[in-house]
Amino acid sequence: MIKHIFILTWNKRKQHIFLIIELFFFFLAISFLVFISISSKLASGPKNFNIDNVVDIQIPYQADSTIKLLRESVMQMTEVSGASFSNTGPSIGYFDAVDVIWNGKNIEIYRSFSDEYLKDLVSLKLREGKWFDNTSINASKKLIVINGILQEKFFPNGNAVGKTLTTSLDKYLIIGVIEDLNDDAGKSTTVNGSFYEFSPKVSYAHLLVKLKVPLNEKIYKQLQRKQKEYGGSYEYSEIISIAQYRESREKQNSSFFSFILLISSFLIVNIVLGLYSILYQTINRRKSEIGIRRAAGATSGAIYKQIIFEVLCLTTFALIFGVAVGYQFLLFNTLQGEPADYVISMVVAALFIYLLVTLCALYPAYLAAKIHPADALHDE
């Protein structure tokens, strides 16, 4: 039967050419939308950090000594419970990409710098080993704390503490492992893995300050004065609560996803209505054909099946071309993503389209199955 339907549909390809082309483009569009949604997926799982009442004081490049004074001066404020230098922070984003040399291969991961206070300031969760402390500065080697992702990647069975990690820049001693942050702003660190390097001398970009109360105008003014005094005057150094970073990121994400949603629902509604009305009209036109088949003994179930199979057959024609084009994208990695993402998005889009066309065909097929042979043949 399937072979017959295939031939039947193939013979009518000219009549259905617009539907096929439409489904082809629809497949490409939906695959693309699925692709960008999954390749920009957000970190899921629990947030292994806490940024309540943490404020970011941005600092320009400065000599080490003055910077240290900024921290001491901020710590003297009664509202401040902690302060830590880092070149980034949870919810802020921005990481250094470095290449780790592992089994002769270069693997890209991310690096950030921190001092000994960051862990307690933003409540990072330690999995094993320890965080930097005041003896770290005297260590003979460069110390790092890696995240859970990196541990699972490089040391799947066993302890990472005490081992060495070699990057294209340096050799590092691993002293601890923290749980991955699951930070939306640092999606790539969740995918690729990252580590914190202890660095007392590097030019930091941020002083993260933990307050006992939410940031208010009085504290803001005080911090601003201290920033100017020790951080030098630079037009574009801000003092922003980290919650504000997070808010703007969330807005950006929701605005991006509502755009995707808008475009895909527009395309889907178009396809559904178009497909439905074209099928509906086609059934009307084929009344006599169906009548003859019924008269010759076909059950209404058989007619039902025939209509649905025909539609699926048409869809398959469109998808064959679609997958062929999608494969070209994968081959040349035009969209710069993981190969798996291409495959997943094409499979998802294909399944979705099959489901959609089946749903669209249900009612027209029902109408066709209901056709009474006598009525249909009478018309003829």
* Contact residues for other proteins, defined by CB under 8 A: 12, 14-15, 18-19, 21-22, 25-26, 28-29, 214-217, 220-221, 233-236, 238-241, 243-244, 248, 251-252, 254-255, 258-259, 263, 266-267, 269-271, 273-274, 277-278, 281-282, 284-285
**Between residues 173 and 260, which has the closer beta carbon with respect to other proteins?**
260
CA nearest to 51, candidates 247, 287, 277, 241: 241
- Per the listing, tokens 């690096």 go with 111
**Between residues 28 and 367, which has the closer beta carbon with respect to other proteins?**
28
Paired tokens of 162:
């005490």
CA nearest to 115, candidates 100, 101, 136, 96: 136
- Got the DSSP string for 280-320? HHHHHHTHHHHHHHHHTT--HHHHHHHHHHHHHHHHHHHHH
**Between residues 104 and 236, which has the closer beta carbon with respect to other proteins?**
236
**Between residues 84 and 241, which has the closer beta carbon with respect to other proteins?**
241
Sign of the alpha-carbon dihedral angle for 361, 364, 367, 368: negative
We find the least distance from the C-beta atom of residue 112 to other proteins, in angstroms, to be 23
We find the least distance from the C-beta atom of residue 214 to other proteins, in angstroms, to be 6
We find the least distance from the C-beta atom of residue 1 to other proteins, in angstroms, to be 24
State the pairing for strand pair 96-102/126-129: unpaired
Burial label, 51 (beta-carbon count in 10 A; 0-12, 13-18, 19+): buried
**Between residues 2 and 213, which has the closer beta carbon with respect to other proteins?**
213
We find the least distance from the C-beta atom of residue 308 to other proteins, in angstroms, to be 19
We find the least distance from the C-beta atom of residue 49 to other proteins, in angstroms, to be 20
We find the least distance from the C-beta atom of residue 167 to other proteins, in angstroms, to be 29
For residue 60, the cross-strand partners are none
We find the least distance from the C-beta atom of residue 15 to other proteins, in angstroms, to be 4
We find the least distance from the C-beta atom of residue 32 to other proteins, in angstroms, to be 8
Sign of the alpha-carbon dihedral angle for 13, 18, 21, 22: negative
**Between residues 240 and 298, which has the closer beta carbon with respect to other proteins?**
240
We find the least distance from the C-beta atom of residue 14 to other proteins, in angstroms, to be 6
Residue length of the chain: 380
Phi, psi of 239, rounded to the nearest 5 degrees: -120, 110
**Between residues 3 and 14, which has the closer beta carbon with respect to other proteins?**
14
Paired tokens of 131:
């965080």
Give the Cα separation of 371 and 300 in Å (integer). Answer: 8
CA dihedral 303, 304, 309, 310 (to 10 degrees): 60
**Between residues 173 and 278, which has the closer beta carbon with respect to other proteins?**
278
Sign of the alpha-carbon dihedral angle for 194, 197, 203, 209: positive
CA nearest to 60, candidates 90, 80, 87: 87
User: Over the Cα atoms of the chain, what is R_g?
Assistant: 31
**Between residues 177 and 209, which has the closer beta carbon with respect to other proteins?**
209
